[in-house]
Every structure is written in structure tokens, then in C-alpha cells.
Amino acid sequence: MPTSLDLSRRPAPQPRPKSLSGLSIPALKAEMEALGLDGKQAGMRAKQLRRWIHHFGARDFSMMTDIAKELRGLLAERYVLDRAEIADHQVSSDGTQKWLTRFGPGIEGESVYIPDVGKAGALCVSSQVGCTLNCTFCHTGTQALVRNLTAQEIVQQVLITRDALDEWPSAEEGRLLTNIVFMGMGEPLYNLDNVAEAIETISDGDGIAIGRRRITVSTAGVAPKIPELGQRTNAMLAISLHATNDDLRNELVPINRKYNLAELMDAIAAYPSLGNSRKVTFEYVMLKGVNDTLAEAHDLVRLLKGVPAKINLIPFNPWPGTPYECSTWETIEEFADVLNRAGYASPIRTPRGRDILAACGQLRSESVKKSAAEKRREALAGGEAGA
């Protein structure tokens, strides 16, 4: 006769060990103090761990030969050096790579490595899963915000890319990953504490060692936070602009209804240390029949007068269901010519990774859409069923 189980006698599920990969120095020190080390010892061990994890890319505590064997054993009992789970990894025909990273149940974000950008290659990282801004031309804007990413989760996107590129230990020369851009999912200035902590870790010269002048943070225009970003991070600033008047920008970038162009330009003027060697990058997506006239090119010149600026013209990257089209190449070149003649460097950004939806404005978490792997499996199953 079946009997009911006494569930109270079942052992409680054990929590997964915490990963130290991607943690900042203060966070590592706090973990060492939790192990019972005093302040000075905890600080020293935190710096040793930082170097092993973020300079050498260590995945095993046994590698850490300058840490006492007993402590290494304790670390191995309490912690792991795992990265977040890679749910999907795609490689474009042009060499662009995209990772779908699962940070927890239903918490998935995308990051994109673009070769031959910046000094050698750039990684576009996400700061949130989803977004609250609802920019109408951006695929990410169609996904509701799930949550902010932690500083550790942001840094782990860099570690995952370094793993894939086999770039351990960190080197001064010959790197494939040289630049970090906060241009992935989310609005970085709505997660500024974690973004600032992540930048501190990424730029640490004894760790990942990507300098702050090679780290760019892009905002859609959270004006009150822009000067604070510069004061706290000393990172390069990019503005997701896309329109030269408030009426159109209200439509394309709805945050403009809260912080209009006048407020945005005042905030930019207050960004620390702007000059010819430290320019603001303005991103301007080219939308056919929407914002691409020569009159608007001249308006853009007037809007940016006196601002040390570079203007990235971005051919619109289509995504499923979008109402927009990309401007013609001739129109984009004529627009760029107006800006160049006014003295602004205005490169036309070559679309990269379109075939894997990794191009600018195309990121959208697999939390709310089927992964490419699932689609391939379904397509294969469908083909077999029809055979």
C-alpha cells in the first residue's frame, strides 16, 4: 500500500556556491572578511584573487600558487570561478560574435563582439535586461525591463569574450578586445552604480586593464546623470541622438519628453574634461524619410556648435515588425558630406552582424523570443517531418 512521503525529512537543497569571477576589489575583500580574514589580510587576498581571475583568467583555485594551500582549499569549498551560463553563441559571416548569457531563470542578456572596431575589436555590453525607454526604432525597446544587471554580471560579459578569444593573460600588445562600449541592452545611466563599479573593475590595470579612454558609455539622454557619469567613471560619453528637434525626438526617443534637447545639451556641456582629445560621440540612426534630409544635417551642425564632437551615422538595421526603413546610401553620404564640411568627423558605421540580429538596435533578449538554436532545431524537425 503506498504511503505518503515525509517531505520534512528531505534534505534542503544546497545553495549554489558563489562565483568570484567579475567581482570588484571591494566585493572580493568583503568575501575574504566573511571567511574570517582581518582587514589587511582580506585586502591583500582580494588583490591576489583579482589578478588571478581578471589578469590570468583563472578558472581553478589550484592555479593560485602565491596563495597558501590551506586558503586555496577553503576557497574551493566555498566558491567557484564560473562565468554566467552561455545560453546561445552565434557567429556572423563577418566575424561578429553574439552571446546570449543567462544570469538566472528568465534573466538573459546579449553582448556582441565586433572585430576591427576601435583599436582592434570592441565588445558591446548590456547593462540591463530589457529597457524602459521605448525608442521606436530600437528592437531592445520593444522588450519590457526585466531588471538591472549587477556589476559582476556586466564584467562577466567581458570575461566570456576574453575566454572565447583566448586572451589570457591580459596583454599590452596584440589584443583582439581593446574597447568596451555600453551600447547593448538597457539604459546605463538608470543603472549607474553598477555601471560605475563595473568600469572600475574593467579598467583596473592589474586585472582586465582596458583603459577608461577605451570605455564608452552611451545614453539616450538621462540628462541629470550625465555629469555624474563623467565624475564617477571618467569614461568616454556617447549620446543616442537621432533627431535635431524636440518634436521628432519626442517620437523617436521618448525620454526627450522628460529631458528635452536644451537640457540634454546643457548636461553635455557639464561633462568633465571635454576637448579635442576627448570628444562626445553622437549616434544618429539614418531613417528613410524621417530624419535624413539635408536640412536636418544643417540643423545638426547648428545644434552641436561649440561641442567637441564626433558623429556616427548609423544605417538603420531592420528587425521583425519595424515600421522603419534605412536611408539610401546616397542620402547617407550626402548627409555625411554636410557634417564633414562643417568640420565634424562623421564616419558611416558599417552594419555588422545583421545576419544574427547583432547589429546596432537589434538586440532583444531570448527571455522573450526563441533562441536561434531553438529555431534551427525546429526548422530541422520541420524538414524531417516533411520528408
Catalytic site residues? 110, 360
The beta-strand segments (E) located in 24-164 are 79-80, 85-91, 97-104, 107-115, 121-124, 128-129, 147-148
DSSP state of 259: S
Measured CA to CA, the distance from residue 64 to residue 75 in angstroms comes to: 11
DSSP state of 291: S
Q: Where are the alpha helices (DSSP H) in 60-214?
A: 69-78, 151-165, 192-202
* Residue 312, strand partner residues: 283
Which are the contacts of 141, defined by CB distance < 8 A and separation ≥ 6? Answer: 131, 133, 134, 135
Angle in degrees, CA 92, 98, 101, rounded to 5: 155
**Contact status, residue 100 vs residue 365, Cβ threshold 8 Å:** yes
Measured CA to CA, the distance from residue 1 to residue 295 in angstroms comes to: 85
Q: Which of 148, 113, 149 is nearest to 132 (CA)?
A: 148
**Contact status, residue 384 vs residue 100, Cβ threshold 8 Å:** no
